[in-house]
A and B are shown apart, each in its own frame.
Chain A
Amino acid sequence: MTTTVELTSASKRYGKIEATKDMSFALKAGETIALVGHNGAGKTTLIKLMLGLIRPTTGSVKVLGEDPATGDFAVRQRLGYLPESVSFHMTLTGRETLAFYARLKRVAVSHIDTLFERVGLSPEAANRPVRTYSKGMRQRLGLAQALLGEPRILLLDEPTSGLDPALRRNFYDLITELRGGGATVLLSSHALTELEDRADRVIIVNRGSKIADGTLDELRKLARLPTRISVRLANGASSLEGASWSRTAEGRLEANVAPEDKIALLREVTGDPSMLADLAITEPTLDDLYAHFLNGQKTQ
Chain B
Amino acid sequence: MTNIIIVARKEIQEGLRNRWVLATTLLLAALALTLSFLGSAPTGNVGVNRLDVVIVSLSSLTIFLIPLIALLISHDAIVGEAERGTMLLLLSYPLGRSEVMLGKFLGHVSILAFATLFGYGASALGLALTSTGIDIESWRSFASMVASSVLLGAVFIAIGYLISTQASERSTAGGIAIGIWLFFVLIYDMALLGALVAGQGQALPSRLLDLLLVANPTDAYRLLNLSSGGASALSGMGGIAGHTRLSTPVLVGALGLWTVLPLAVANFIFARREV
Contacts and interface: CB of A to CB of B under 8 A. Distances in A.
Interface of A: 14, 48, 51, 53-54, 73-74, 76-77, 79, 81, 83, 85-89, 91-92, 96, 100-101, 103-105, 129, 145
B46 interface: no
B10 interface: yes
Interface of B: 3, 6, 10, 13-14, 17-18, 84-86, 88-89, 91-96, 274-275
30 contacts: A14-B274, A54-B274, A54-B275, A73-B95, A74-B94, A76-B93, A76-B94, A79-B92, A81-B92, A83-B85, A83-B89, A83-B92, A85-B85, A86-B85, A87-B85, A87-B89, A88-B86, A89-B14, A89-B86, A91-B14, A91-B17, A91-B18, A92-B10, A92-B13, A96-B13, A100-B6, A100-B10, A104-B3, A104-B93, A105-B93
B94 A104 contact: yes
Contacts of B92: 51, 53, 76, 79, 81, 83
Contact of A87 (B84, B95, B275): B84
B73 to A, nearest CB: 14
A53 B89 contact: no
* B contacts with A: majority SS: helix
Given A14-B274, A91-B18, A101 B93 contact: yes
Contacts, number: 56
A92 B10 CA distance: 9
B166 to A, nearest CB: 18
Nearest to A97: B10
Chain A CB within 10 Å — which of B85, B89, B92, B275 has the most?
A: B92
Given A87-B85, A87-B86, A96-B13, A77 B275 contact: no
A83 B93 CA distance: 12
A73 B17 contact: no
Contacts of B14: 89, 91-92
